[in-house]
Amino acid sequence: MRYTSPPVMTPALQRCAVHEQRPAFARCMSCSKMLCQECATQWDGIWHCAACLSTKRGAAVKHRPVPAWIAVVTASLILLFAGARVMVWTAAVIAGLF
């Protein structure tokens, strides 16, 4: 009895998991489905199918911007205060008070 290996899927023979009539373009890195150009979506440099992409987008960490805004406002107030002091001292020097 002679052993024959299973047929190897070449890129020309691979088909999209959603559209059987279309050739595969990419592989979903989450579920390993073969995808055509219409079905494949690249996100952060990685190809995903629509189902896996919606799962990943829904699981994205949502940051609250409040601490960042507090830091921006604080830095702006410090710069405003320092700028005002520099302008007052510059005007005093120019007026010859010091």
Residue 8: pLDDT band by 50, 70, 90 thresholds?
A: very low
- For residues 53-90, one letter each, b for 16 or more C-beta atoms within 10 angstroms of the residue's C-beta and e for the rest, the string is beeeeeeeeeeeeeeeeeeeeeeeeeeeeeeeeeeeee
Return the CA Rg of the chain: 30
Q: Is 7 left (phi over 0), alpha (psi -120 to 50) or beta?
A: beta
Asked whether 55 and 79 are in contact (CB, 8 A), the reply is no
Q: Which residue has the higher pLDDT, 5 or 92?
A: 92
Q: What is the mean pLDDT of residues 90-97?
A: 88
> Which of the two residues, 73 and 11, has the higher pLDDT score?
73
Domain ranges of the chain: 1-61, 63-98
pLDDT of residue 61: 62
1-61 CATH, one of 1.20.120, 2.40.128, 3.30.70, 2.10.110: 2.10.110
pLDDT (tens digit per residue) in 21-68:
999 989 999 899 999 999 998 888 889 998 888 887 776 566 778 888
